[in-house]
């Protein structure tokens, strides 16, 4: 773990805000969204709350990036993925709270769970690999990282098939609820094993290899790049404890705004018979947007290992932790969540994992592989809109 920077003067919270207009805009749009919510304008309330959540989440991602730089892998990527997944859980839980008024909320939550993985593995990974491929032609990462993650995700998606198959074989509702809870518990236990594997016994699987580091170094020498020491700015001058405090505070604010987004958004879904699959996809894009910006920045800096860790790590956490947590939280409503996903969702999830396995298994990426993920996502989004 790296020490906090102490050579530069640390900024006050007031100075931090003055240098981060994104945060101020996020707060502003959140306040305006609340005003429209109060005056019963669902269109502007939903739109502005979504913008506010996205902007504040970008600040969360920026602070998380600072913390990630102070931690060794895979801990650095953990901070980035967990900060985004927390926002995802908050958004989906707020939608889940509307299940007592609209049964379609449950389907929206299910769509959001699957869509989060599909957006992570296709939009985030696809855009970052595409942009990195254009900038550097080829980029190298630790092939053990992608191999391990795709294995984990394939097992997890297979586990989600169990309640789905039970749904199509006309099992009783109680059996479906019980099977979903058991699968959720199994996924959580599996994640504990994965966490130990990542942080203790095989942490080298999730770090850049010596070969990929030398590959980057030689290319920079060939291009005549010189590394320059940059003056720490903004959140970099705050201590680690203060940065964690900022993240938790922003997540609390996002939680309040997410309630407005869920309430007003579900009323629009119900009023206009909006496809729940597309609604879940929109929620996923909002929650993953900050990670996408972070991954693109990493790819442009030739840090494709960070991109792989973020995309696949976030997908793993989305299934292994989001599912058990939402299953537990659903008991605070009158409608327990079940894991009976439809055929489109399960099929798209498995195909996404297979595509990621094929595009990353050799430890090298290029723009064509990024393009493949993006086109796959476009096809999924079109089907989701009409399914």
Is pLDDT at 9 greater than 60 in this prediction? Answer: no
| Tokens matching residue 99 | 């299940």
In a domain, 230, yes or no: no
Question: Which whole number is the average pLDDT over 251-255?
Answer: 85
In a domain, 8, yes or no: no
pLDDT of residue 7: 43
352 pLDDT tier (thresholds 50, 70, 90)? very high
Split into its structural domains, the chain has a count of: 1
In a domain, 2, yes or no: no
In a domain, 191, yes or no: yes
Question: Which whole number is the average pLDDT over 273-298?
Answer: 83
Is pLDDT at 95 greater than 80 in this prediction? Answer: yes
pLDDT of residue 126: 92
Q: What is the pLDDT of residues 190-219, one digit of tens each?
A: 989 888 887 777 766 666 654 444 444 455
Task: Write the CATH number for 305.
Answer: 1.20.1420.30
pLDDT of residue 167: 67
In a domain, 193, yes or no: yes
What range does the domain containing 36 cover?
Answer: 13-223+236-386
- Per-residue H/E/C for 7-67: CCCCCCHHHHHHCCHHHHHHHHHHHHHHHHHHCCCHHHHHHHHHHHHHHHHHHHHHHHHHH
Burial 16-40 (b: 16+ CB within 10 A, else e): beeebeebebbbebbebbbebbeee
In a domain, 368, yes or no: yes
pLDDT of residue 131: 92
C-alpha to C-alpha distance for 18 and 75, rounded to whole angstroms: 30
Q: What is the pLDDT of residues 164-198, one digit of tens each?
A: 787 666 566 788 888 889 999 999 999 898 888 87
pLDDT of residue 75: 64
C-alpha to C-alpha distance for 338 and 14, rounded to whole angstroms: 45
Q: What is the pLDDT of residues 118-139, one digit of tens each?
A: 999 999 999 999 999 888 888 8
- Poorest-confidence range of 1-15, 261-275, 343-357? 1-15
366 phi and psi angles, rounded to 5 deg: -145, 175
Mean pLDDT estimate for the chain: 80
In a domain, 229, yes or no: no
In a domain, 1, yes or no: no
């Amino acid at each position: 773990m790296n020490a906090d920077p102490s050579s530069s003067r640390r900024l006050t919270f007031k100075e931090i805000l003055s240098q981060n207009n994104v945060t101020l805009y996020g707060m502003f749009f959140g306040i305006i969204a609340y005003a429209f919510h109060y005056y019963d304008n669902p269109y502007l309330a939903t739109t502005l709350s979504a913008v506010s959540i996205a902007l504040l989440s970008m600040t969360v991602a920026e602070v998380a990036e600072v913390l990630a730089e102070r931690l060794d892998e895979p801990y650095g990527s953990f901070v980035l993925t967990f900060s985004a997944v927390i926002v995802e859980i908050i958004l989906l839980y707020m939608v889940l709270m509307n299940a007592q008024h609209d049964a379609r909320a449950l389907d929206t939550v299910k769509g959001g769970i699957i869509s989060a993985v599909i957006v992570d593995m296709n939009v985030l990974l696809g855009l970052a690999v595409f942009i990195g491929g254009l900038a550097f032609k080829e980029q190298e990462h630790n092939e053990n990282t992608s191999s391990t993650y795709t294995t984990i995700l394939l097992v997890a998606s297979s586990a989600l098939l169990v309640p789905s198959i039970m749904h199509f074989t006309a099992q009783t509702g109680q059996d479906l609820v019980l099977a979903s809870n058991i699968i959720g518990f199994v996924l959580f236990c599996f994640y504990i094993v994965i966490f130990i594997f990542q942080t203790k016994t095989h942490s080298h699987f999730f770090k850049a290899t010596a070969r990929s580091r030398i590959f980057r170094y030689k290319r920079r020498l060939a291009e005549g790049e010189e590394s320059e020491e940059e003056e720490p700015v903004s959140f970099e001058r705050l201590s680690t404890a203060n940065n964690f405090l900022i993240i938790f505070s922003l997540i609390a604010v996002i939680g309040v705004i997410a309630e407005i987004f869920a309430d007003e958004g579900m009323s629009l879904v119900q009023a206009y018979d909006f496809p729940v699959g597309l609604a879940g996809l929109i929620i996923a894009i909002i929650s993953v947007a900050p990670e996408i910006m972070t991954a693109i920045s990493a790819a442009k800096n030739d840090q494709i290992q960070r991109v792989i860790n973020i995309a696949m790590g976030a997908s793993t956490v989305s299934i292994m932790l989001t599912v058990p947590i939402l299953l537990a939280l659903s008991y605070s409503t009158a409608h327990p969540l079940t894991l009976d996903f439809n055929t489109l969702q399960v099929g798209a999830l498995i195909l996404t994992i297979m595509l990621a396995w094929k595009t990353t298994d050799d430890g090298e990426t290029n723009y064509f592989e990024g393009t493949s993920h993006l086109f796959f996502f476009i096809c999924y989004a079109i089907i989701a809109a009409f399914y």
